Amino acid sequence: MKHNQLNIFSDTEKPKAWKALQCLVIFIFVFAAGGATCMPRRTIPDFQPTPLFNSPPSWEQLAEAINRSRNVRSLQSNSVTVKANDERSINSNVTWSRPKRFRLTASVLGLAGVDIGSNDDAFWMAIRNFEQPTMFFARHNEFDLQVDRPVLPVSPEWLIQAMGVCELDFTRLVPQQQPITRPDGMIEIATWEPTPIGNYRRTLVVDPKYGFVREVFLFDPSPRLVAHAKQFKHEYYTSVQTSLPHQVKVQLLPSGSEPFELDISIASYVINGLDPDNQKQFEMPNMMGYKTMDLGRTGPQAMVPQQVAPPQPMVPQVSYRGVQSDGLLKR
pLDDT, position 40: 42
List of residues 6+ apart from 299 with CB closer than 8 A: 11
Q: Specify the DSSP element, H or E, that contains 27.
A: helix 14-33
Report the percentage of the chain scoring pLDDT > 70: 72
The CATH number given to whatever domain includes residue 241 is: 2.50.20.10
Collapsing DSSP to helix, strand or coil, 30 comes out as helix
Q: CB atoms < 10 A from the CB of 214, how many?
A: 18
* 204 Cβ contact list (under 8 Å, min separation 6): 66, 166, 168, 188, 189, 190, 191, 213, 215, 216
Report if residue 35 sits inside a domain.
yes
| pLDDT tens-digit readout, 189-230 | 999 998 899 999 999 999 999 999 999 999 999 999 999 999
Is 115 contained in some domain?
yes
Residue 324, domain member (yes or no): no
The residue segments making up the domain with residue 278 are: 11-294
What span, in angstroms and rounded, lies between the C-alpha atoms of 320 and 259?
35
CA dist 91 and 80 (Å) reads: 6
How many domains, the chain?
1
| pLDDT at position 271 | 94
Q: Is residue 47 domain-resident?
A: yes
Asked if residue 55 is part of any domain, the answer here is yes
The pLDDT, as a whole number, for residue 8 is: 44
Distance separating alpha carbons of residues 6 and 148, to the nearest angstrom: 21
Query: Following DSSP, what letter does each residue of 34-94 receive, concatenated?
Result: TTPPPPPPP-S---PPPP--SSPPPHHHHHHHHGGGGG--EEEEEEEEEEETT--EEEEEE
Of 304, 307, 311, nearest in space to 286 by CA: 311
Low-confidence residues in the chain, pLDDT < 70 = 1-46, 86-89, 108-112, 130-131, 298-331
User: C-alpha distances in angstroms, 110 versus 100, 106, 113, 114, 294?
Assistant: 25, 9, 7, 10, 24
pLDDT, position 304: 33
Rounded to an integer, what distance in angstroms lies between the CA atom of residue 295 and that of residue 160? 20
pLDDT at position 130 is 63
Q: Measured between alpha carbons, how far is 313 from 323 in angstroms, rounded to an integer?
A: 15
pLDDT digits (tens, 9 = 90+) for 124-165: 988 877 667 888 999 999 999 988 888 888 887 788 888 899
Q: Is residue 58 part of a domain?
A: yes
Domain-located, residue 304: no
pLDDT at position 39, please?
40
List, for residues 66-80, the tens digit of each pLDDT value: 999 999 999 999 988
Q: Is 15 helix (H, G, I), strand (E, B) or coil?
A: helix
- Across the strands, what pairs with 92? 80
For residue 325, the Cα-to-chain-centroid distance in whole angstroms is 21
- The answer to whether residue 65 sits within a structural domain is yes
The pLDDT value recorded for residue 1 is: 46
